[in-house]
Each structure stands twice: as structure tokens, then as C-alpha cells.
Amino acid sequence: MRQDGELHAEDDRKRKEELETRNEADNAVYRTGKMVKDNADKISADDKARLEPAADGVKEALKGTDASAIKTASEKLNETWQAVSKELYKAAAEKTRPGKGPAGGQPGKPPEADNNHDDHKHYEEPVSGCTATIAA
């Protein structure tokens, strides 16, 4: 029985890899459909036109048994999603910052340091009933 298991170990490993590849590809197609549906107002028609054929390619590959074809189609879909996501994040960042620069107020200029304070002030007044002297 043990010999039989050892004989089929390689077949089992290959089958496991194939099933994992199929599951990952199927999940990628599902996520794509859900993301397109949930973000329909944010994804351009051009991006949808890029995503749909990539997802269809994975669906078509899943109809067959060629694990490498499934993997290749899935990788293409993931690459397409990365490009679309990059554009979505870029557009979202631009929408949240129109006319706003860094915390200093002027776009492109860092806030100026406040050097007009005395680092050696001592506060003698007790804070919340505390009798210790606090140095700032």
C-alpha cells in the first residue's frame, strides 16, 4: 500500500497543482466580475474593454484541461487588473487633492518649521493637581 502511494505521489502533486491553478483562475474571474460591477462608475469603458476579454480568456481556458494555458490566461488577467488598478488609484488620488498641496498650504512646498518657540520654557503652574515642575 505504501509503495502504491509512493508510485502515485508525483501524479497527486501534479493534480494538486492543476486544481490550485484552476481555483486561482476561477477566483480571478469572479473577482474581476465583482470589481467591475462594484466600481462600474469608476472604471472607464476602455478599461472594461481590456478586462472583459482577459476574463473571457480565462473562462475559455478553464473549459479545457491544459494547466499551463489556464495559468497563462490567469496571469494575463492579473496583469490587466494591475494596470487598471494603477489607473484607478491614480484617478482617486487626483480627486482627493484638487488644489490641495501638502500640509503647508502651498502645493509643492513643504510646510516651514516653526522656529519661534522657546525650548527652555518651564511651566510652574500645576497641571490637574500635579505639583511637579514640567520642562518643555
Measured between its terminal Cα atoms, the distance across the chain in Å is 77
Between residues 42 and 58, the one the model is more confident about: 58
Whole-number average pLDDT of the chain: 79
Calpha distance 45→38 (Å, rounded): 14
Whether domain 2-96 has CATH 3.50.50.100: the reply is no
The string of pLDDT tens digits covering residues 45-56 is 999 999 999 999
What does the pLDDT read at residue 104? 47
Query: Which backbone phi and psi does 42 adopt, to 5 degrees?
Result: -100, -20
69 has a pLDDT exceeding 90: yes
- pLDDT, mean of residues 30-53: 90
The string of pLDDT tens digits covering residues 78-128 is 999 999 888 888 888 888 875 654 444 455 555 555 555 555 555 455 555
Q: Which residue ranges make up each domain of the chain?
A: 2-96
The string of pLDDT tens digits covering residues 7-17 is 788 888 888 99
129 has a pLDDT exceeding 60: no
Helices 67-96 and 45-63, axial angle in degrees (round to 10):
160
Alpha-carbon torsion 94, 97, 101, 102, what sign? negative
